[in-house]
Amino acid sequence: QVQLVESGGGLVQAGGSLRLSCAASERTFSTNAMGWFRQAPGKEREFVATINCNGANIYYAESVEGRFTLSRDNAKSTVYLQMNSLKPEDTAVYYCASRSLFICSPSDRPSEYHYWGQGTQVTVSS
């Protein structure tokens, strides 16, 4: 069972930055692709970014491309989402997710992720 714990959310003004972290409990973390998703009130969960198991392939949603940077440190079993130039429309609960063990390829589909964190709130004020 993989446990994911997100941190780093909070309240920030438009144009500001936050860095989210997601720490995994599983020692085989380096074998799993990871992703970040977000869900705003009244909206469906949407894809933000995904990274393959060795960090070589990273994909972003169009809405965050150029502003967000996803990375991973397999030695620390942690993924990071650096969010710059934040906008009020980025306000949401952000979820970290892991694909199943030994599934290395990234995905933008929530249904292809097996493990989820509890979420961390990001609020961007205008």
Q: What is the pLDDT of residues 3-51, one digit of tens each?
A: 999 999 999 999 999 999 999 987 778 899 999 999 999 999 999 999 9
Beta strands in 9-113 (DSSP E): 10-13, 18-24, 34-39, 46-51, 58-60, 68-73, 78-83, 92-98
The percentage of the chain sitting over the pLDDT mark of 90, rounded to a whole number, equals: 91
Q: How far apart are CA 12 and CA 62, in angstroms?
A: 22
SS3 30: helix
Mean pLDDT, to the nearest integer, of 112-125?
97
Q: Say what the pLDDT of residue 27 is.
A: 75
From the CB of residue 121, how many other CB atoms can be counted at a distance below 10 Å? 12
